């Protein structure tokens, strides 16, 4: 297809634009469908994840209560004292899903968790268990965070894609189609006008020819007529010559 | 696609917490807590004396900090600043509403799930509750 005119600028024809608009519309629709499928899957996972999170938090909470009980009082102060740099952190990567970059979180441990809970007289074991429970909780929570951010990002992406699909369908394509049909209509009309003109001219010409024919016939007829009249002239001559003696006026 | 904010990929980001004392202590035990040189922490313990303003400020601070990727917030605390929580549209930091000892998890109030309430049929919610 001719895309460039002689000056090197892009000069696509309307029909070509319509073709690519239609193609783009179909592709974007596919993308939107693929994203929506992912979206629903993630949503399901989120719902079930949140349920299990509720369970895990309960377990961890019990474990903490146990530890507090065994440690004989509030371990809050000791724990707070011990906070320095976080040993449990997250890192994020991007995953490409159906053309959309989705974030994914992973938790990792860095450095040594300070086991310096020497302020606790008793209950080291329970405290350990409690710690394990909460680390497990973090694992579920980070997974949930991943799902959630993917979910929100997908939501945005789906909205954008659907906006584009609708724009193509309701604005771009109708405009192109209207312009194309308008131009076609104009061309048809011009053609009809030309045709009409042609017919008219043919009609004139025909009449001209007929006129000429008619006048030619008249002339022929007149000729015939006059030749006939010629014969009567001769007979008139005879008459005249016959009647010569009688008529003195006729000079021969 | 150029207008969409890029989600930052980082190698190391913190988990922030706005919750009741027990929950925070538990997570601190796990090693999530961070105190930097300027004594800035990544957690806020909410008790009966904490004002809504303090919670709001902490939330806003955590959401704007570059080094925080996840914000854990007790659901009953989130309810106190619901309008603020709902107004955040950024995917990162991720806001997770967690239950606390006295307030079990309620999916009806979750700001994320409420956004897609229309997708929930009666069955899917009911099946979860079993």
What pLDDT digit, counting tens, does each position of A142-176 carry?
Answer: 999 899 888 888 888 999 999 999 999 999 999 99
Looking up tokens 């009567």 gives A232
Tell the CATH topology of B14-127.
Rossmann fold (3.40.50)
Q: Residue A169 has what DSSP assignment?
A: I
Looking up tokens 């799930």 gives B113
User: Domain limits of chain B?
Assistant: 14-127
Instruction: Return the ∠ at Cα A32 (arms to A49 and A142), rounded to 5°.
Output: 25
How far separated are the first and last CA of chain B, in Å rounded?
Answer: 42
Sign, Cα dihedral of A154, A159, A165, A168: negative
The two most distant CA atoms of chain B are separated, in Å, by: 51
Which residue of A31, A37, A80 is the best one to mutate when testing the B interface, meaning the one whose CB has the most B CBs within 10 A?
Answer: A80
Percent of chain A surpassing pLDDT 90 = 29
Mean pLDDT of all residues in A70-74: 76
Q: Do A47 and B107 touch (CB under 8 A)?
A: yes
Q: Do B92 and A103 touch (CB under 8 A)?
A: yes
Beta bridge partners of A108: A89
Mean pLDDT of all residues in A46-50: 86
Please tell me which of the candidates A110, A135, A153 has its beta carbon nearest to residue B30. A135
pTM: 0.71
Percent of chain B surpassing pLDDT 90 = 14
Sign, Cα dihedral of A216, A221, A227, A230: negative
Task: List all residues of chain A from 212 to 241 with a beta carbon under 8 Å from chain B.
Answer: none
Query: Is the CB of residue A92 less than 8 Å from the CB of residue A104?
Result: yes
Q: Chain A: nearest CA to B78, how far in angstroms?
A: 16
Task: List all residues of chain B from 84 to 113 with a beta carbon under 8 Å from chain A.
Answer: 89, 91-92, 94-96, 98-101, 104-105, 107, 110, 112-113
Chain B contact for A78 (CB, 8 A cutoff): no
What pLDDT digit, counting tens, does each position of A196-205 carry?
Answer: 999 999 999 9
Backbone angles phi and psi of A229, in degrees to 5: -65, -30
What pLDDT digit, counting tens, does each position of B57-86 carry?
Answer: 999 999 888 888 899 999 888 888 888 888
- Residues of chain B in contact with residue A142, where contact means CB-CB under 8 angstroms, are 15, 70
What pLDDT digit, counting tens, does each position of A102-125 carry?
Answer: 888 888 887 766 666 655 666 677
Whether A136 shows a pLDDT value over 70: the answer reads yes
Indicate the angle between helix axes B21-30 and A14-71, nearest 10 degrees. 100
What pLDDT digit, counting tens, does each position of B92-106 carry?
Answer: 888 988 888 877 777
Chain A contact for B17 (CB, 8 A cutoff): no
Q: Which residues of A57-76 are buried (b: 16+ CB within 10 A; e: fewer)?
A: beebbebbebbbebbeeebe
C-alpha span between A187 and B42 (Å, rounded): 73
- Residues of chain A in contact with residue B28, where contact means CB-CB under 8 angstroms, are 79-80, 82-83
Q: Do B13 and A127 touch (CB under 8 A)?
A: no
Please give the pLDDT value at position A127.
83
Query: Is the CB of residue A110 less than 8 Å from the CB of residue A87?
Result: yes
- Provide DSSP, B8-74: PP-S-BEEEEEE-HHHHHHHHHHT---B-TT--BSEEE--TT--HHHHHHHHHHHHH-TTEEEEEEE
């Amino acid at each position: 297809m001719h895309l460039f005119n002689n000056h090197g600028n892009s000069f696509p024809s309307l029909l070509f634009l319509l073709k690519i608009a239609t193609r783009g519309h179909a592709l974007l629709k596919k993308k939107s469908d693929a994203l929506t499928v992912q979206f629903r899957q993630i949503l399901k996972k989120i719902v079930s994840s949140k349920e299990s999170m509720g369970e895990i938090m309960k377990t961890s909470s019990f474990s903490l209560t146990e530890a507090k009980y065994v440690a004989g009082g509030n371990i809050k102060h000791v724990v707070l004292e011990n906070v320095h740099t976080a040993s449990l952190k997250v890192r994020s990567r991007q995953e490409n899903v159906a053309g959309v970059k989705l974030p994914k979180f992973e938790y990792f441990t860095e450095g040594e968790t300070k086991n310096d809970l020497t302020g606790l007289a008793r209950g080291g074991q329970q405290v350990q268990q409690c710690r394990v429970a909460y680390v497990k909780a973090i694992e579920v929570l980070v997974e949930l965070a991943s799902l959630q951010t993917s979910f929100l990002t997908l939501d945005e992406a789906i909205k954008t894609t659907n906006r584009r699909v609708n724009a193509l369908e309701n604005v771009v394509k109708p405009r192109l189609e209207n312009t194309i049909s308008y131009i076609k209509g104009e061309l048809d009309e011009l053609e009809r006008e030309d045709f009409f003109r042609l017919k008219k001219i043919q009609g004139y010409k025909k009449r001209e020819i007929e006129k000429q024919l008619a006048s030619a016939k008249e002339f022929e007829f007149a000729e015939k007529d006059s030749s006939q009249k010629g014969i009567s002239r001769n007979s008139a001559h005879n008459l005249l010559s016959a009647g010569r003696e009688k008529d003195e006026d006729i000079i021969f | 696609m150029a207008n969409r904010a890029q989600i930052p990929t980082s190698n190391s980001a913190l988990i922030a917490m706005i919750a009741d004392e027990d929950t925070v202590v538990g997570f601190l035990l796990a090693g999530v807590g961070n105190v930097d040189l300027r004594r800035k922490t990544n957690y806020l313990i909410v008790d009966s004396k904490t004002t809504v303003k303090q919670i709001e400020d902490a939330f806003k601070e955590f959401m704007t900090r570059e080094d925080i990727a996840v914000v854990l917030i007790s659901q009953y605390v989130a309810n106190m600043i619901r309008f603020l929580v709902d107004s955040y549209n950024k995917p990162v930091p991720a806001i997770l509403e967690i239950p606390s000892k006295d307030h079990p998890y309620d999916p009806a109030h979750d700001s994320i799930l409420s956004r897609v309430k229309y997708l929930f049929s009666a069955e899917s919610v009911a099946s979860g509750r079993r």
